Chains A and B, each alone.
Chain A
């Protein structure tokens, strides 16, 4: 497991998101109105919509394709929909953000 620096909290708009490219696919990094930061796979469990493009409200995001609401804390679909995306550990050290990814070297070996 490795921590990767991805930038600063101010790089993400309040109630917004940015995406981070990794060899395992895109990850959406979200900043809530309360300045909390969450990271989840950028791929809605319903039809694969880019969650980082959705509207962020509370600790959830609404997928731009078909309005599934995904919890940023757990990665699970809220309401009656069933499905989940992977949550990615994220660290916020005085605004400096990093995410933890599984050993990426494996891919090249």
Chain B
């Protein structure tokens, strides 16, 4: 008989518990989850990489909606449980939903600690706990102003590094004399502070916050000693406390956390608790490894196996800030009965300290070089007597037995039950046996199947070494990155062979280059389609089925499956007739949102796919053509008003912009191509962060390229100065063609330029007139096939099938 299991909280611990439970006892429980956060289960450890921009939210989701559906779980998103009725065995949410349970699991996690100082409620004061906090920080970071992080622990430093990465001027305030004093001794804390400061983050230790000042919103922080630190954002990261209010109200035994036995059972036999809110044997936990252990124990008990018991073990701490290596484990306080071994290498920035008691390791601090962390952890766990290797112990595992330093040997020497991934509790034997058993050859596969290095990722190096050990020559991470799983060839080889072998269709490429799949995948097909179109503009027939939907239907797909439509406004110039046509379309199709884009055009959002041809027909009457806002191709040429109007303008920047756009529209490029022309060095068109930009000066036109203002921010490089508009156009076109012919698909111009070298590009485009002319001519030839307005083609009936459902069935019967 199925029992009803209700879970309060949808974090990583209950998520892992359910994974174990469904494996051990499928179908035993009908599961209902109440989640106060309005989303699915995501990897909270990875919030710092999301903040710093190294990951996206979508990449850190652990269980997508489909997982809940597959397991028949009812998930109430955004429902906070307000009451537990233990007599009636029910819970009630703030939206009034009441559910009964046979077994209840409380996994309410923790809440950030807010220091009780004046001003703590001001706008701009936030904590660092969930995705909403990250989003608030990202929003604040756009201002690139000053931020203060209170708390120099793990979370505070990760927040500070993330905000600094996003361009904010960050100060960390820490109340203790050294950073991360709970995990690091003062020496390592000092090294860490130096490394943090080298990243431009200011650190003030022994800083006691007296008040947060500001009128309505944060303006700064006042310290005890009277110092004032200006800030528009204050992040409090001073610690967490278990969230126990609900359990206390229900009359359960509560200490610091909800008191549970080593089987995760609370003082009520039908209620369990796990995660950060639970207290076992007087300890509460905040790192993921013990929480996952709790999840394993709880799942065992739920499935009826009461033998599992939670045992305390020390968890190593690592900081997830790219470029800072530190590892800390166990107890490292000084003491009369303790000895220590210390290694310092100031020039290499390395510090290692082992704390010993009775010839056994009880604590480890590693800074700068952490590869031996797993080995020291293993020695500590096993309580190995180290007296035999005492002389060389600190140099690490590779030095034992006189063998030379070799990280591979160190990993090879680890026993099978040595823990490799602390977050997920994966040991060496599990990884190597899965690699062999399932025939895995890539890091992604190993992550998918074993979860090793799939959480915080800090053991990635170890996992890769294990792969090398297990697979030998079959694993070579440094080799050329293949285009995708369908081939071993990299982009550059594929491009070269397409030309060398005269391959002129996707099947020909796949046949000749020995593709491993029958018809490629969503990564290689769009790339091949572009390479072929670029190399054989007159002979290759564009394969629409190998294009991403946006380029197939000439509009931009939105999250709800509707599309956005951006007509071309040459150089950002428009007129009454065009605006009227847009207004008419907006009225006729009830367009939900009309927005001005960053590229000086107008975006119509929320258009149904079936309506696209009719919308284009309406726009076409005023002469509009596709703005190709969806294309890996020429997007916009942004302009300022230039010498016709502006009192500072030196050249006709608007005219030049329009001329460039009319010459180059319709061309496909490896990635999107955005341009701008500014009429004077004041640069109102912001040409110096574009793929290609022009700054007009009295003596001519300064051509810029390789800027970026998206995921990366980068000012342009100067290609050179030319005297006339004709020359400017020729140089820009030649540069574009060189990029078209050489770059890898989806590689923006700044990344390509970095790869091939700025000097080489300048040499070919500025100094070699023959080369320049040849590039120019090839672009012009290619344009004779590319400059066809895709919208008017479709208004005239091309690709009709794209815009209509195949059939509508079942509706008549239903109405009977």
Contact with A along B531-550 (1 / 0, CB 8 A): 00000000000001111111
Find out whether the CB atom of A81 lies under 8 angstroms from the CB atom of B64. Answer: yes
Find out whether the CB atom of B58 lies under 8 angstroms from the CB atom of A66. Answer: yes
Find out whether the CB atom of B811 lies under 8 angstroms from the CB atom of A69. Answer: no
Find out whether the CB atom of A7 lies under 8 angstroms from the CB atom of B814. Answer: no
Q: Nearest Cβ distance between residue B521 and chain A, in whole angstroms?
A: 5
Name B65's contact: one of A13, A15, A83 (CB within 8 Å): A83
Find out whether the CB atom of A83 lies under 8 angstroms from the CB atom of B549. Answer: no
Known: A33-B519, A46-B65. A101 touches B810 (CB 8 A): yes
Q: Nearest Cβ distance between residue A53 and chain B, in whole angstroms?
A: 4
Name A82's contact: one of B70, B520, B544, B557 (CB within 8 Å): B70
Does B66 lie at the interface of the complex (its beta carbon under 8 Å from any beta carbon of A)?
yes
Find out whether the CB atom of A6 lies under 8 angstroms from the CB atom of B525. Answer: no
State the CA gap A46–B444 with chains docked (Å). Answer: 19
Does A62 lie at the interface of the complex (its beta carbon under 8 Å from any beta carbon of B)?
yes
> Chain B residues with Cβ under 8 A from A12's Cβ?
801, 806
Find out whether the CB atom of A55 lies under 8 angstroms from the CB atom of B810. Answer: no
Q: Nearest Cβ distance between residue A103 and chain B, in whole angstroms?
A: 9
Name A4's contact: one of B66, B444, B549, B810 (CB within 8 Å): B810
State the CA gap A4–B806 with chains docked (Å). Answer: 12
Chain A CB count within 10 A is highest, among B545, B550, B809, for B809
> Chain B residues with Cβ under 8 A from A82's Cβ?
63-64, 66-67, 70
Does A77 lie at the interface of the complex (its beta carbon under 8 Å from any beta carbon of B)?
yes
**8 A Cβ contacts from B488-544 to A:** 517-522, 525-526, 544
Find out whether the CB atom of B64 lies under 8 angstroms from the CB atom of A45. Answer: yes
Find out whether the CB atom of A55 lies under 8 angstroms from the CB atom of B522. Answer: yes
Q: Nearest Cβ distance between residue B771 and chain A, in whole angstroms?
A: 36
Does B755 lie at the interface of the complex (its beta carbon under 8 Å from any beta carbon of A)?
no
Find out whether the CB atom of B814 lies under 8 angstroms from the CB atom of A84. Answer: no
Find out whether the CB atom of B813 lies under 8 angstroms from the CB atom of A104. Answer: yes
Q: Nearest Cβ distance between residue B225 and chain A, in whole angstroms?
A: 50
> Chain A residues with Cβ under 8 A from B553's Cβ?
53
Does B69 lie at the interface of the complex (its beta carbon under 8 Å from any beta carbon of A)?
yes
State the CA gap A47–B57 with chains docked (Å). Answer: 13
Does B561 lie at the interface of the complex (its beta carbon under 8 Å from any beta carbon of A)?
yes
Does B576 lie at the interface of the complex (its beta carbon under 8 Å from any beta carbon of A)?
no
> Chain A residues with Cβ under 8 A from B526's Cβ?
55
Known: A6-B806, A19-B805, A79-B448. A54 touches B519 (CB 8 A): no
> Chain A residues with Cβ under 8 A from B69's Cβ?
45, 83-84
State the CA gap A42–B519 with chains docked (Å). Answer: 22
> Chain B residues with Cβ under 8 A from A21's Cβ?
805, 807-809, 811
> Chain A residues with Cβ under 8 A from B103's Cβ?
none
Find out whether the CB atom of B808 lies under 8 angstroms from the CB atom of A62. Answer: no
Contact with A along B790-804 (1 / 0, CB 8 A): 000000000001000
Find out whether the CB atom of A11 lies under 8 angstroms from the CB atom of B546. Answer: no
> Chain A residues with Cβ under 8 A from B814's Cβ?
23, 104-105, 107-108
Find out whether the CB atom of B806 lies under 8 angstroms from the CB atom of A19. Answer: yes
State the CA gap A7–B70 with chains docked (Å). Answer: 31
State the CA gap A99–B525 with chains docked (Å). Answer: 30
Does B816 lie at the interface of the complex (its beta carbon under 8 Å from any beta carbon of A)?
yes
Q: Nearest Cβ distance between residue B653 and chain A, in whole angstroms?
A: 37
Does A18 lie at the interface of the complex (its beta carbon under 8 Å from any beta carbon of B)?
yes
> Chain A residues with Cβ under 8 A from B811's Cβ?
21-23
Q: Nearest Cβ distance between residue B333 and chain A, in whole angstroms?
A: 42
Does B815 lie at the interface of the complex (its beta carbon under 8 Å from any beta carbon of A)?
yes
Residue of A nearest to B451 (CB): A80
> Chain B residues with Cβ under 8 A from A56's Cβ?
545
> Chain B residues with Cβ under 8 A from A108's Cβ?
813-816
> Chain A residues with Cβ under 8 A from B521's Cβ?
55, 57-58, 62, 69
Find out whether the CB atom of B545 lies under 8 angstroms from the CB atom of A16. Answer: yes
State the CA gap A79–B64 with chains docked (Å). Answer: 14
Q: Nearest Cβ distance between residue B550 and chain A, in whole angstroms?
A: 8
> Chain B residues with Cβ under 8 A from A54's Cβ?
522, 549
> Chain A residues with Cβ under 8 A from B518's Cβ?
33-34, 58
Q: Nearest Cβ distance between residue B445 and chain A, in whole angstroms?
A: 8
Name B809's contact: one of A4, A13, A66, A83 (CB within 8 Å): A4
Find out whether the CB atom of B816 lies under 8 angstroms from the CB atom of A65. Answer: no
Q: Nearest Cβ distance between residue A93 and chain B, in whole angstroms?
A: 16
**8 A Cβ contacts from A1-59 to B:** 2, 4-7, 11-16, 18-24, 26, 29, 32-34, 45-50, 53-58
Does B20 lie at the interface of the complex (its beta carbon under 8 Å from any beta carbon of A)?
no
Contact with B along A59-88 (1 / 0, CB 8 A): 000101111010000000101111111000
> Chain A residues with Cβ under 8 A from B545's Cβ?
13-16, 55-56
Residue of A nearest to B71 (CB): A82
Find out whether the CB atom of A55 lies under 8 angstroms from the CB atom of B525. Answer: yes
Find out whether the CB atom of A29 lies under 8 angstroms from the CB atom of B448. Answer: no
State the CA gap A105–B809 with chains docked (Å). Answer: 12
Q: Nearest Cβ distance between residue B151 and chain A, in whole angstroms?
A: 34
A-B CB contact pairs (8 Å), 13 listed: A11-B801, A20-B808, A20-B809, A21-B805, A21-B809, A22-B810, A24-B810, A58-B519, A58-B521, A80-B448, A84-B70, A104-B813, A108-B813
Chain B residues in the interface with A (C-beta under 8 A): 58, 63-67, 69-70, 444, 447-449, 517-522, 525-526, 544-550, 553, 557, 559, 561, 801, 805-811, 813-816
**6 new A-B pairs (CB below 8 Å) besides A47-B559, A83-B67?**
A5-B809, A7-B807, A47-B65, A80-B448, A83-B64, A105-B816
Pairs A-B, 9 closest by C-beta atoms:
A83-B66, A45-B66, A80-B448, A62-B522, A18-B806, A4-B809, A6-B807, A21-B808, A55-B522
